[in-house]
């Protein structure tokens, strides 16, 4: 028989949505709910954004103010897979957001970045998510609903963001799409359709 605590120990949740869809607020609420199920849990927030300009600085400050002081913040623009190995069983870890992280990875790889390099980094992340004993809630943008970009690096980003979301969706227990602030639960669902793309 599993207790409420045990049921949450392998919990992984991927929260998808567009810009300003409400995905971060939803993920924060899910993190707080997950924390309630842990006896000695701590809330961790992994920020992947970097302070590029004043507008980004304001966005980051807004998110910090909304979260409150109970969160332990970690700034991890690139080395996310390694960071996930440092968390314990009762830790609740919110990663916001994976698409910014992917952008940082591609930028660090440079102008000659290719699919094989990016896919290797994504595979490392997926493996770390699977192996981590912590409860992990991940926020990612659904970027594949718009026009296919013309630039090589932009296409590399959009294609790999879609592949990353699919790879993570396969290994997590819950996937939720947020639109207009409303959650649509994609996994688990009452039916399953095997789609590869």
Q: 90: domain CATH number?
A: 3.40.50.300
Answer whether residue 16 is part of any domain. yes
Answer whether residue 3 is part of any domain. no
Answer whether residue 127 is part of any domain. yes
Is 67 annotated as a binding-site member?
A: yes
Answer whether residue 194 is part of any domain. no
63 given a catalytic annotation:
yes
DSSP secondary-structure letter at 92?
Answer: E
Answer whether residue 1 is part of any domain. no
b/e map of 118-131 (b: 16 or more CB within 10 Å)? beebbeebbebbee
pLDDT digits (tens, 9 = 90+) for 29-74: 999 999 988 878 899 999 998 766 777 777 767 767 777 778 999 9
Answer whether residue 69 is part of any domain. yes
- This prediction has a pTM of 0.86
Is 18 annotated as a binding-site member?
A: yes
Neighbours of 100 (CB within 10 A): 19
Answer whether residue 110 is part of any domain. yes
Is 4 annotated as a binding-site member?
A: no
* Structural domain containing residue 117: 8-187
CA dist 56 → 80, 99, 179, 186 (Å): 20, 15, 22, 30
Is 132 annotated as a binding-site member?
A: no
Answer whether residue 177 is part of any domain. yes
pLDDT digits (tens, 9 = 90+) for 139-190: 999 998 877 777 899 999 999 999 999 999 999 999 999 999 999 999 997 5
Q: Count the domains in the chain.
A: 1
* Catalytic one of 62, 63, 174, 191: 63
């Amino acid at each position: 028989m599993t207790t409420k605590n045990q049921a949450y120990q392998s919990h992984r949740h991927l929260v998808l949505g567009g810009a300003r869809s409400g995905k971060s607020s939803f993920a924060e609420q899910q993190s707080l709910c997950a924390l309630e199920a842990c006896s000695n849990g701590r809330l961790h927030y992994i920020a992947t954004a970097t302070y590029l300009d004043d507008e980004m600085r304001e966005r980051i400050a807004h998110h910090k103010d909304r979260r409150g002081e109970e969160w332990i913040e970690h700034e991890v623009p690139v080395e996310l897979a390694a960071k996930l190995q440092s968390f314990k069983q009762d830790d609740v870890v919110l990663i916001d957001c994976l698409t910014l992280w992917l952008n940082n990875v591609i930028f660090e790889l440079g102008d000659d970045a290719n699919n094989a390099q990016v896919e290797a980094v994504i595979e490392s992340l997926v493996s770390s998510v699977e192996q981590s004993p912590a409860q992990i809630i991940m926020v990612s943008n659904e970027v594949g609903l718009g026009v296919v970009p013309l630039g090589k690096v932009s296409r590399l980003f959009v294609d790999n963001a879609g592949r990353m979301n699919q790879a993570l969706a396969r290994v997590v227990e819950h996937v939720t799409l947020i639109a207009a602030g409303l959650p649509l639960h994609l996994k688990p669902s009452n039916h399953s359709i095997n789609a590869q793309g």
